[in-house]
């Protein structure tokens, strides 16, 4: 994304800093220097989310790209995978990084632009490219440190969560027994028709902020946000239901978003590249669609785990037929009423 407030000289200096130099290598050059076949380089390049010209002589690559290839080749758990699994891993990393970059680009470029202006104001004779390189180094070191810290912290949390999971090939995924939930804003599509972009931004900001805080504070983790819906997971049905009920309380208290409906299922799931897959996930999604505003529905497995928990009251509802599941029996869960002595 180009910033009209920055000159082409400054933007070029920023790109060269980020890429470790100019784009001076072709796919043929990369293959010769790294020993990786050019067709492999192109496939992984596209998997990262970058367009390939199809011209092996086009100078698309910079020094940082060569370094990255050599680094990954030195990690046996990646280098020993077949090309299909290497591609899957690369695609997952690329999708995560692309989303982070799109979110940060305006802030990063704006901050670099401001620092360039300060440096040139202090020394009008200074080369703009030199000022841009200095400003970029200062700003990027701060963002790189922040990104690295957050990644390390999340990796530590993920390792803790996965400590009891069975060992498996990281590219194939691991199987874990988890409670999976979806919390969905009721009437979101209809609501967006009467909101301007600023109001829609505030709505999504409030929803994501409330749900992320509640999920983290109650022992779960956000799997992903899907616009008007958040997918989350927890080790036990009790933790997942607690999350769902606290989220609904927080939403009502904030009066910032529509009511939520929540569905939770429990059982074996495939955990792959940070996402979850399987029948349990599908069941949780279907239960969410069945739930009324302000309610939490769970499946048979979760209901069985909650039956003896004094914190909750569970009511079995009539079985229904939904797409992909011939007989789904929802269970309504609420907090147990405390009897007054």
User: Residue 10 and residue 112: Cα distance in Å, rounded?
Assistant: 9
- Domains detected in the chain: 8-162 (no CATH), 174-335 (3.30.70.1230)
Find out whether 179 and 266 touch, Cβ atoms under 8 Å. Answer: yes
- Taking 70 as the pLDDT cut, the residues of the chain under it are 1-6, 54, 162-173, 256-257, 338-341
C-alpha distances in angstroms, 279 versus 182, 237, 242, 263?
A: 14, 16, 22, 13
What residues pair up with 225 in beta bridges, in sequence order? Answer: 230
| pLDDT one-digit tens code per residue, 24-49 | 998 888 888 888 888 888 888 888 88
pLDDT attached to residue 2: 45
The alpha carbon of residue 281 and the mean position of all alpha carbons in its chain are separated, in whole angstroms, by 17
């Amino acid at each position: 994304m180009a910033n009209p407030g920055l000159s082409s000289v400054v933007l070029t200096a920023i790109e060269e800093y980020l890429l470790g130099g100019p784009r001076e290598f072709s796919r043929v050059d990369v293959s010769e220097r790294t020993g990786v076949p050019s067709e492999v380089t192109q496939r992984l390049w596209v998997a990262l989310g970058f367009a390939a010209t199809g011209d092996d002589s086009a100078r698309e690559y910079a020094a940082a790209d060569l370094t990255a290839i050599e680094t990954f080749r030195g990690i046996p758990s990646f280098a020993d995978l077949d090309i299909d699994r290497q591609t899957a891993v690369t695609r997952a990393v690329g999708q995560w990084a692309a989303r982070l970059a799109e979110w940060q680009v305006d802030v990063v470029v704006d901050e670099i632009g401001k620092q360039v202006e300060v440096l040139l104001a202090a020394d009008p004779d200074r080369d703009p490219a030199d000022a841009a390189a200095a400003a970029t180094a200062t700003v990027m070191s701060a963002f790189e440190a922040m990104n690295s810290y957050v990644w390390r912290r999340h990796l530590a949390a993920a390792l803790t969560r996965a400590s009891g999971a069975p060992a498996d090939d990281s590219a194939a995924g691991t199987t874990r027994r988890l409670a999976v939930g979806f919390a969905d804003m009721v009437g979101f599509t209809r609501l967006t028709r009467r909101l301007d972009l600023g109001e829609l931004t505030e709505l999504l900001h409030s929803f994501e902020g409330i749900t992320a805080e509640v999920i983290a504070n109650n022992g779960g983790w956000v799997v992903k946000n899907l616009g008007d819906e958040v997918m989350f997971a927890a080790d036990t049905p009790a933790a997942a239901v607690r999350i769902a009920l606290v989220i609904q309380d927080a939403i009502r208290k904030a009066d910032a978003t529509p009511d939520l409906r929540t569905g939770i299922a429990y059982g074996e799931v495939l955990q792959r590249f940070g996402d979850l897959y399987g029948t349990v996930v599908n069941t949780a999604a279907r239960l969410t669609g069945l739930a009324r505003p302000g309610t939490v529905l769970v499946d048979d497995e979760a209901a069985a785990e909650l039956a003896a928990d004094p914190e909750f009251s569970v009511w079995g509802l009539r079985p229904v037929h939904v797409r992909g599941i011939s007989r789904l029996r929802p269970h309504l869960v609420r907090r147990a009423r405390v009897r007054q002595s």
